[in-house]
Amino acid sequence: MVRVYKRKTQQHSWSSDSMTKAIDAVIEKKMSYKKAAEQFRVPQTILERYMKKKQSDNNYTVTKMLGRYRTVFTPEQEKELFSYLKSMEAQLFGLILMELRELAFQLAEKNNIPHPFGKDGKAGEDWARQFILKHPDLTLRTPEATSAARAMVFNKVVDKFFNLLKEVVQSNRITADRMYNCDETGLTVNSKEHSKIIAQKGRRQVGVVTSTDRGQTVTIELCFSAAGVYLPPMLIFPRKRMQQVFEMGLPPGASSVCSENGWVTKELFVVWFKQFIQFLGASKDRKILLLLDGHSTHTKNLELIHLARENGVILLCFSPHCSHKLQPLDVSFMKPLSTFYENEIRKFLRSHPGKVVTLVNIAPLFGAAYTRAATMTTALNGFRKTGIFPMNKNVFEEVDFMPSLTTDIALETSQMLGPASKVSLPLPGPSTTLASDISLPSPGPNTTLASDISLPSPGKISTPVHTAKLIPARDDSTLAFPLCFQEKNTRSSSTYSACSAIN
């Protein structure tokens, strides 16, 4: 089959509606064959042929077909297949091109639909690509890895986070210039990803020079506000003793510290938090809201908690495993920073042949990338897209919650300092019954196609049942939180606590 076919004639370029109007005009004796053909721009010979069919059958409708080839599936069947592909992708179980070909073959076989597919159990690659081209909403894309925990947890229960955020903002009159988000990211002498380069067509492998096979990690502490203000970053180098050369080329006001492995610790996060308080001039009269994830250096850090209380800083944690959707830094800033950093490394290696990037070069390379990435628009878009500021809990659509549908379970939850109540979450239903002449699977347990066809598709993931309750903290509590969220995993019998807010 010719993959890029160009028509060479104008045959059947008329529309079915024009032909129907011409037939009606001739039947009502308003026009002759010749005049109707000229008026509605249809071939006269074809008009006469359709007139004979209409006279023999009053219910006849004009159907235009090119040549002897027919489509395998009807428009209704293709619509069902199109909806199924979108539904599977929305639930993070998208089909590859090979699975689409197998699915089309099995549907045609089990529903006794004549088809020109081969005997290898798959529809042709040309059919699959033409099906995608026929539906502009479909395209082939490389998916981004999303952990099962993130897929299962991000459901409509995130409304509780927005309710708590609204309560904190309104009770303390928090404005955009006093709402901040902080997070950590890692940089190495090798960039995490590489941009596409121009290369000779047909080469089996295209390479690019890197400094080492595996590089040491430098942790960066980042923070910006809903008003577009950036705090000077802090770099954590994997060293036992700090050297002044590591600070050369850093952005203005930035600082650097060291740890044995280059990771953030409770003590180092407190060092950054003191800089945060000093930079903003936080006090009990001018409270600051700091949004952060549930990392142990944030939630199980007594010195941090005491400093926050003494200086009027309200700490609010995101829902577990939801930072990829709720954290402004993850949503808008981390990707541009990584891209610009990779560009700086590539320019350095190209400008210094024979040299490699070392820890000494991290500061100037990061400084150049950070200056390009840290724009006010990026910060404003991060808070807007997450619905935090301006506050909009409806920023997420139904498609954003679809990955959690296959694993949603009923949770037994207690209200804050109130009686217990049950929260029912939607459970995956049985396989959806589609049109009578086509059967498609829906994600859920024991997914099957028509009759006994089985295609790899998501089943119900076995997850532990969690029992959660909110408990008030005592004055002598080691957690020192007004409200702590304690969760017990009934399968592993492990218990952990994380903060919800500090007033």
SS3 of 87-119:
HHHHCCCCCCHHHHHHHHHHHHHHCCCCCCCCC
Token look-up 């076919």 returns: 5
User: Is there a domain that residue 462 lies in?
Assistant: no
Q: Which two tokens stand for residue 275?
A: 């800089």
Domain for residue 50, yes or no? Answer: yes
Same domain, 128 and 162: no
pTM of the model: 0.62
Question: Do 233 and 272 fall into the same domain?
Answer: yes
Give the span between the Cα atoms of 467 and 490, in whole angstroms.
Answer: 8
Hey, which bits of 365-464 come out as E strands? 411-414, 420-423
Q: Check whether residue 127 and residue 270 sit in a common domain.
A: no
Residues 61 and 116 in one domain: no
Rounded distance, CA 218 to CA 268, Å?
13
Query: Both 56 and 88 in a single domain?
Result: no
pLDDT at 16: 85
In a domain, 314, yes or no: yes
CA 105 to chain centre: 31
- pLDDT for position 12: 76
H or E element, residue 16: helix 16-27
Which residue is it, tokens 């082939």?
A: 140
Q: What is the dihedral of CA 218, 219, 221, 226, to 10 degrees?
A: 100
Residue partners of 433: CB distance under 8 A and separation at least 6:
439
> Can you give the C-alpha Rg of the chain in angstroms?
31
Vertex 325: Cα angle to 320 and 331 (nearest 5):
125
pLDDT tens-digit profile, the chain (503 residues): 556 667 777 777 888 889 999 999 999 888 999 999 999 999 999 899 889 888 888 888 887 776 667 789 988 999 999 998 988 888 888 899 999 999 999 999 999 999 989 889 999 998 999 899 889 899 988 887 877 777 676 776 688 889 999 999 999 999 999 999 999 999 998 877 777 888 888 888 888 777 776 678 899 999 999 999 999 999 999 998 888 899 999 999 999 999 999 999 999 999 999 999 999 999 999 999 999 998 989 988 999 999 999 999 999 999 888 888 999 999 999 999 999 999 999 999 989 998 989 999 999 999 999 999 999 999 999 999 999 999 998 898 877 777 777 666 554 443 433 333 333 334 344 333 333 344 444 444 443 343 333 344 444 433 333 333 333 333 332 333 333 333 333 333 333 333 444 44
How many alpha carbons lie under 13 Å from residue 171 in its C-beta half-sphere?
11
The Cα–Cα gap between 330 and 335 comes to 8
264 and 365 together in one domain: yes
Residue 109 lies in domain: 75-134
pLDDT at residue 263 in the model: 93
Contact in structure between 388 and 226 (CB atoms under 8 Å):
yes
Query: Residue 400 belongs to what H/E stretch?
Result: helix 398-401
Asked if residue 181 lies in contact with residue 382, where contact means CB atoms within 8 angstroms, the answer is yes
**Phi, psi for 52 (deg, rounded to 5):** -65, -40
User: Do 220 and 342 reside in the same domain of the chain?
Assistant: yes
- Amino acid, single-letter form, for residue 25: A
**Into how many domains does the chain fold?**
3
Amino acid symbol at 38: E
pLDDT of residue 438: 42
Closest CA to 288 of 278, 296, 297: 278
The pLDDT value recorded for residue 345 is 92
Residue 303 lies in a domain: yes
CA 161-294-498 angle, to 5 degrees, is 80
Residue 118 forms part of a structural domain: yes
- Whole-number pLDDT of residue 3: 65
Looking at 346, 368, 399, the residue that finishes a domain is 399
Asked if 255 and 180 sit in the same domain, the reply is yes
